[in-house]
Amino acid sequence: MKIRKEKGLTFDDVLLVPRRSPIVSRQDVDTSSWLTPEIRLQVPILSANMDTVTEAAMAIAMARAGAMGVLHRFMTIEQQVRQVERVKRAEGFIVENPYAIDQEATLEEARKLMERHDVGGLVVTNGTTRLIGLITQRDIMLAPDEHLRVRDVMTLPEQIVSVPPDISPDEARRILYEHRLEKLPVVDRAGNLVGLITAQDLMRPQRYPHATKDSKGRLRVGAAIGVTPPEMERAEALLAAGADVLVVDIAHGHAEHCIKMVKELRRTFPTAQIVAGNVATREGARDLAEAGADAIKVGIGPGSICTTRIVTGFGVPQLTAIMDSAAGVAELGRPVPIIADGGIKSSGDLVKALAAGASTVMIGSLFAGCEEAPGAPVIRDGQKVKVVRGMASLGAAIGRKAVERREEESAESQEDWDKVVPEGVEAVVPYRGHVKEILYQLVGGLRSGLSYGGARNIQELQEHAEFIEITPAGVRESHPHDVHRM
């Protein structure tokens, strides 16, 4: 038994000491940072892989803002793959493998397929690679009978304007304008359909200039997986669907089975970007990096709805955990970014986490109240709220069992609730509107923080950061006090 002499510190225990600053305007600073050695984000923030935080809608909004979302894993492989595909299809110059329908399908079937995939049109291929027709929402919107066939209303091949695969965005824009079209099928020299260009996709880069995109112009997205052997199948399916990052999701990442999983992923998918965690120590971060992780997720128990420290007695205050983990991976002599996961309540906490050595932060509860988070808002005591729950909470544990069985829990199959030891709680958070508004405030605070630190970018902030411990009186002084707030 031993007791560490140094104190463990978290965000409220310290302040950053202001420095002489050359920054004239906070718009002069660079907020970009590395998520992994190959993926850089303009906004160094991830939405957490929690079932009340990140599904496709949140991931799309995060990526468009220059950040990124990590899809939770508490769904079937097929469901998670569809979520990845939805994000990857949300933007891109050429939509590969556009959604298709048979010409003998009814208009009702076409409408439902468009609604399911949230698209405005379908190509008609009859199961081949040949373009037989094109049908859009405009074709079915005012149709007198939904039982009409697609062939009755679709645009025929001789009426369709198509383009070759090597067309440029400027040329595609010109053709769409000249012909007053919304969609351009992309057809190769052999007459095979290879993709679809839409007017909306051509306009989105102007609306979201800092969006996080891959080499094909598609939005980036991460996806969480577990550590059991069957999860290799999930990993393969997610990568095939276009997931940019695999996040090995386990409460205690410094465990043999997690390390083994990371090694197996690295061996099987050598080019995949792998994030692993969670850990809270120098040794934990270093061991996962040595196993093959490209980035390390740090945080044992700092989340607002996590009770791991109370239930188990284990954990490390988050600021110290970030510093120790960053020191651990620094010993390897190669870049292994740190993701600070949990405990972020404000932009000031974001700045402190980055100054302590994190490259990005992951946020859960703060985003759970946003419009893009799963679930609808409800009214409680006259206020709009949304539900958030820790992924080790009782409800999440029971739901996870249902997903693992791929069926609804029944009286015969339901695990006894008294055998579940939860390490999280379920709660409600205020409805906060769209996530882009929260990100704007967080990034604005980060920009101001960089200017106070005399730093043009996050690397300079880390190089020159000086923390000072404060007393409880200092904490009170840091908040509004001695006034009646309006």
Range of the domain at 63: 11-90+211-475
Q: Which residues of the chain have pLDDT under 70?
A: 390-422, 424
Please say which residue of 178, 207, 236 terminates a domain.
Answer: 207
Q: What is the pLDDT of residue 395?
A: 55
Q: Please, what is the angle between helix 231-241 and helix 256-268, to 10°?
A: 40
pLDDT at residue 400 in the model? 53
Q: Counting Cβ atoms within 10 Å, is residue 417 exposed (0-12), middle (13-18) or buried (19+)?
A: exposed
Tell me what pLDDT residue 404 has: 53
Six token digits for residue 272:
């995949």
In a domain, 78, yes or no: yes
Nearest to 369 by CA among 425, 436, 305, 430: 430
Judge if 332 and 419 occupy the same domain.
yes
Local structure of 232: helix, strand or coil: helix
Identify whether 306 is a catalytic site residue.
yes
Extract the tokens encoding 153.
């209303």
Handedness of CA 407, 84, 173, 165 (dihedral sign): negative
Q: Are residues 390 and 471 in the same domain?
A: yes
Q: Dihedral through CA 244, CA 250, CA 253, CA 257, nearest 10?
A: -100
Tell me, what CATH number does 133's domain have? 3.10.580.10
Same domain, yes or no: 356 and 460: yes
Q: How many domains does the chain have?
A: 2
CB-based contact 39:273 (threshold 8 Å): yes
Say if 480 falls within a structural domain: no
78 and 118 both lie in a single domain: no
pLDDT of 409: 45
217 closest CA partner among 79, 355, 78, 64? 64
Cβ(275)–Cβ(248) under 8 Å?
A: yes
Mode of pairing for the β-strands spanning 467-469 and 14-16: antiparallel
Question: b/e for 9-41, b at 16 or more Cβ within 10 A?
Answer: bbbbbbbbeeeeeebeebeebebebbbbeebeb
The closest alpha carbon to 450, from 45, 42, 16, belongs to 16
Token pair recorded at residue 341: 């996961």
Query: Is 461 found in the same domain as 316?
Result: yes
| CATH classification at residue 221 | 3.20.20.70
- Tell whether 24 and 169 lie within a shared domain: no
| pLDDT for position 281 | 97
Matching residue, tokens 């939005």: 219
| Nearest-angstrom CA–CA distance, 261 and 235 | 11
Residue with tokens 């509107």: 433
Burial of 186 (0-12, 13-18, 19+ CB in 10 A): buried
Q: Are residues 333 and 383 in the same domain?
A: yes
Q: Which of 148, 175, 207 lies at the terminal end of a domain, its last residue?
A: 207
Query: Has residue 298 been placed in a domain?
Result: yes
Dihedral angle over CA of 399, 401, 404, 406, nearest 10: -70
Q: Are residues 229 and 257 in the same domain?
A: yes
Q: Are the C-beta atoms of 99 and 113 separated by less than 8 Å? A: yes
Same domain (yes/no): 127, 175: yes
Give this prediction's pTM: 0.87
Question: Which of residues 179, 207, 235 is at a domain's end?
Answer: 207
- What is the structure's pLDDT at 408? 44
Q: Cβ contacts of residue 92 below 8 Å, gap of 6+?
A: 201, 216, 217, 218, 219
Same structural domain, 423 and 279: yes
In a domain, 60, yes or no: yes
Tell how strand 338-341 and strand 360-363 pair up.
parallel
Q: How far apart are CA 326 and CA 448, in angstroms?
A: 24
Helices (H), 269-420: 282-291, 308-312, 318-330, 347-355, 365-368, 394-405
Q: Three-class SS string for 42-105?
A: CCCEEECCCCCCCCHHHHHHHHHCCCEEEECCCCCHHHHHHHHHHHHHHCCCCEECCCEECCCC
Domain assignment present for 132 = yes
- Which is catalytic among the residues 119, 223, 239, 306? 306
CA distance 398 to 384: 26
| Inside any domain, residue 446 | yes
Has residue 484 been placed in a domain? no
Residue 78 sits in the same domain as residue 124: no
**Under DSSP, is residue 351 helix (H, G, I), strand (E, B) or coil?**
helix
Mark whether 324 and 458 lie in a shared domain: yes
Cα 360 to Cα 338: distance, rounded to the nearest angstrom: 7
CA pair distance 287, 293, nearest whole angstrom: 9
Whether residue 2 is contained in a domain is answered as no
DSSP 8-state secondary structure symbol assigned to residue 417: G
